[in-house]
Structure 1
Amino acid sequence: MTNVDVKVENVTMQFRLSNEKVDNLKEYFVRVLKKEMRYSNFCALDSVSFEIKRGERIGIIGHNGAGKSTLLKIISGVMKPTQGKVQVNGAVAPLLELGAGFDPDFSGAENIYLNGAILGKSKEYLDNKFDEIVEFSELGHFIHSPVKNYSSGMRAKLGFSIATQIDPDILIVDEILGVGDEQFKIKSSEKMKEMMESGKTVIIVSHSINNIRTLTDIVIWLEKGTIRGIGDTQSICDCYMNEMRKVKEKS
């Protein structure tokens, strides 16, 4: 499995959802203690299996609720599957919810070291990369301010800069190909293309079929938690769009 970066084997992910509408925590705990809460299981992914070889650019498409983001979180290690297993060979940079893992009371500088450590990088490595990360983020002196004072755009810039400047083997992207202001969107898109052209393994989820057609070579089409199709980007996207047209015509 030396040339395989990601191997997903029979992955199933189930969530336990409450059927009750509860307005506050007190009511929730009262109902739990009285055993009045009723639940149902939701299967977000059902026995999903595939391999991603080193250097491949993979697109994942499907309707809202198809299981795309859940699959990315499992590959990234953010979530553990209910069943099955995932093997990942190499350092992963997940661009999922940029800045979601930041400690709001820490400064941007402190969060660089915190996030870098989570991504498996040593302090020495981060010391050497620190200036590059700060420069790319364009945060200037704000890098020493608490992240809780950052705008959403500033958090996104810092998150993107950390993930892309630490030289990951595998880049995982969920609908954030352009972040921050217009100038930074252009710069981040150029950085993404540079990483792709350098032979990184890239996994992208996007509702933009044009982005998928342009940026990927292979596509996985998810439908209701299962793989509907997998193969050449143009062929799978054509099938997906034909299906979408048929659904529109019926509605």
Structure 2
Amino acid sequence: MTDPAIRLNDACVDFPIFDAKTRSLKKSVLGRAGGRIGTESKVPIIEALRDITLSLNRGDRVALVGHNGAGKSTLLRLMAGIYEPTRGKAAVRGKVAPIFDLAVGMDPEISGMENIIIRGLFLGMTKKQMEARIDDIAEFTELGDYLEMPLRAYSTGMRVRLALGVVTSIDPEILLLDEGIGAVDAEFLAKARGRLNELVSRSGILVFASHSDEFLADLCDTALWMEHGQIREFGPLHDVLDGYKGRRDTGGAA
């Protein structure tokens, strides 16, 4: 089996911002008449990621840190293949298990039990494989009769439990975790840590975004500090965390 890998080379992700004027038919027609279309029409661009070069291989356990809006979520979505680079290159090899968007692969109108199957299929498992894991997932989530109810009846924390139950039952090659798992209660989170550690030990690559230094130290040994859509620092976990916290505590742009 080929080892999992993430290769980003000068990868950029841009988001054009359209307003009512730039979307209007009148402006489109006038733009064509004047010869100013496409990027020449002065559409504002948000540079969400800039010049990201990164190479991750089997065994890498990377904490993703940075202030809100630094580009962490965009980077996770680039690694998951949800976003493609506007410029540069992104190559991901291996089965990716993302748990940062609870809506992906889950249907609010069907039961939790049915969603276990659906989300498992989304993560690359077969229906038979997920059916064999249902009892284990049900026991872990502690959702009981709620598993027979539609997902729209669930609280955010309950949805996280279900998503965690599914993703921690599989054997991913690349595991992408976001801080949204903190929506569960402290007691369940303590229980989930053991299961997450087991999952991480089975996965090839882990990238975990969180504001909890303790949680990051549990699962990671290196860290990637994002700032304004760029990599500020990449190295040993505690060295990067010390630099990031020092800049944040002194009021720097972090």
How many percent of aligned residue pairs carry the same amino acid?
35
**For 2:192 and 2:182, how far apart are their aligned partners in 1?**
6
**For 1:199 and 1:33, how far apart are their aligned partners in 2?**
50
Structure 1 runs (4+) deviating above 6 angstroms are: none
Compute the displacement of 1:92 (Å).
1.9
**For 1:31 and 1:196, how far apart are their aligned partners in 2?**
45
Matches within 5 A, 1:58-69: 58-69=62-73
Matches within 5 A, 1:1-251: 3=3, 5-18=5-18, 20=19, 28=20, 32-35=24-27, 39-198=43-202, 200-247=204-251
Q: Which shifted more, 204-213 or 116-125?
A: 204-213
TM-score norm. by structure 1 comes to 0.84
**For 1:122 and 1:98, how far apart are their aligned partners in 2?**
20
Per-residue CA deviation, residues 134-167 of structure 1 (Å, 9 max, x unaligned), is 2222222221221112222221111111111122
Q: Which shifted more, 130-139 or 77-86?
A: 77-86
Q: How many residues align?
A: 241
TM-score norm. by structure 2 comes to 0.83
Secondary structure of 1:35's counterpart equals helix
**For 1:126 and 1:243, how far apart are their aligned partners in 2?**
45
Compute the displacement of 1:30 (Å).
11
User: Residue 56 of structure 1 contacts residue 200 of structure 1 at CA under 8 Å; is this kept in 2?
Assistant: yes
User: Residue 12 of structure 1 contacts residue 83 of structure 1 at CA under 8 Å; is this kept in 2?
Assistant: yes
**For 2:220 and 2:236, how far apart are their aligned partners in 1?**
9
Per-residue CA deviation, residues 94-121 of structure 1 (Å, 9 max, x unaligned), is 1103345421111112212211111111
Per-residue CA deviation, residues 40-70 of structure 1 (Å, 9 max, x unaligned), is 1000001201111212110111122111110
Match of 2:37 in 1: none
Query: Structure 1: any 5+ residue segments left out of the alignment?
Result: 21-27
Secondary structure of 2:24's counterpart equals helix
